[in-house]
């Protein structure tokens, strides 16, 4: 069985500069690997909070026909948080339910979860989902989405 190829983009000025280690990206990999139960092959990159850089990385992976692209970080309300804008610039179809489920699933645990501006959707045959940068938030948001991700990837591969 061929592994599912997944690209993971960490968006963080400070992690990119080496001020602190990326914790969101490894948490995405850990949770997804535990929940998926099939072979996975990861591509990862850490970039600063810059729209053009984020968009370029996403386009590169879409052109490589990577079926699943997960981002972490840059989804909050601060001026430097631009991951949703960079993602929206390349999406052909939005899948708002994925992001709504993240916010609502975390809301009872952390009411500030509704400040997330994460988006999700499809570009060509790639599913792209924004996640928060906080590892605890990722562990709350990602597992409930796995069945929908499986279904979407099945449709995209047809």
Per-residue pLDDT tens digits of the chain, which is 158 residues long? 789 999 999 999 999 999 999 999 999 999 999 999 889 999 999 999 999 999 999 999 999 999 999 999 999 999 999 999 999 999 999 999 999 999 999 999 999 999 999 999 999 999 999 999 999 999 999 999 999 999 999 999 98
Confidence at residue 107, expressed as pLDDT on a 0 to 100 scale: 93
Model confidence, pTM: 0.97
Task: For 104, list phi and psi in degrees, rounded to 5.
Answer: -70, -35
Q: DSSP labels for 75-93?
A: -SSSTT--HHHHHHTT-SE
Q: What is the pLDDT of residue 61?
A: 98
Whole-number pLDDT of residue 37: 87
Rg of the chain taking only CA atoms, in angstroms: 14
């Amino acid at each position: 069985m061929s592994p599912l190829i997944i690209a993971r983009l960490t968006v963080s000025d400070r992690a990119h500069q080496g001020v602190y280690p990326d914790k969101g990206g490894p948490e995405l990999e850990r949770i997804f690997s535990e929940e998926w139960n099939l072979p996975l092959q990861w591509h990862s990159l850490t970039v600063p909070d810059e729209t053009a850089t984020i968009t370029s990385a996403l386009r590169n992976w879409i052109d490589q026909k990577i079926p699943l692209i997960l981002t972490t970080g840059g989804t909050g309300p601060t001026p430097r948080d631009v991951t949703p804008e960079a993602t929206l610039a390349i999406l052909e179809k939005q899948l708002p339910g994925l992001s709504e489920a993240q916010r609502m699933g975390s809301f009872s645990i952390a009411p500030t979860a509704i400040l997330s501006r994460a988006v999700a959707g499809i570009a060509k045959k790639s599913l792209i989902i924004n996640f928060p940068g906080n590892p605890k938030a990722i562990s709350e948001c990602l597992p409930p989405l796995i069945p929908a991700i499986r279904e979407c990837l099945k449709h995209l591969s047809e």
